[in-house]
Amino acid sequence: MVVTVDCWPFLHLTSSTGGGTGFIGTALTKSLQHHGYDVVLVSRKPGLYRLSWNDLNKKGLPESTVAVVSLAGQNVLDPLRRWTEGFKQNVWASRVNTTRYLAAAIESAKVKPKVFVSASGVVFSASYHILFLLSPEWYLVL
């Protein structure tokens, strides 16, 4: 995923990222900060420059948001994790609901962000067939 930021003539820019603490999100956050963006992570964990999912639903996006990136989702590549019904439900909710929340926040924003990126990785394996069922629902949210 590439987000070009050099050409935008803004002095104060904010990117809101769901799933920003993972492998890709951490690298993207560093890159955006390097290019002059303030990055706000939408996260379950409180902290500096973080917005909880509940706060996002109540208060919406920060006013200066120019980009929203959805990278949220339960890690599905843990070989020790069993694919129970509960785990499948968590995988579903962690992708579909978070994308839905971000889309709703964008829709209700007074000033719409210029970009909304939603990205995922899918591994082809018979044991991961739930991801193929999940994908159409996930992307219909967009």
Residue range of the domain that includes 119: 13-73+83-140
| 114: in domain | yes
Banded pLDDT at 128 (limits 50, 70, 90): low
| 8: in domain | no
Note the pLDDT tens digit of each residue in 69-113. Answer: 888 888 777 778 888 999 888 888 888 888 899 999 999 999 899
Find the range with the poorest average confidence among 5-14, 69-78, 129-138. Answer: 5-14
Note the pLDDT tens digit of each residue in 51-80. Answer: 888 999 999 998 888 888 888 888 777 778
What pLDDT, on the 0 to 100 scale, is given for residue 17? 55
| 37: in domain | yes
What pLDDT, on the 0 to 100 scale, is given for residue 46? 75
| 21: in domain | yes
| 4: in domain | no
Per the structure, the count of domains in the chain is 1
CA neighbor of 13 nearest in space, from 38, 48, 42, 34: 38
Note the pLDDT tens digit of each residue in 12-60. Answer: 345 555 666 777 788 888 888 888 888 888 888 778 888 888 999 999 9
pTM above 0.85, yes or no: no
| 1: in domain | no
| 31: in domain | yes
| 25: in domain | yes
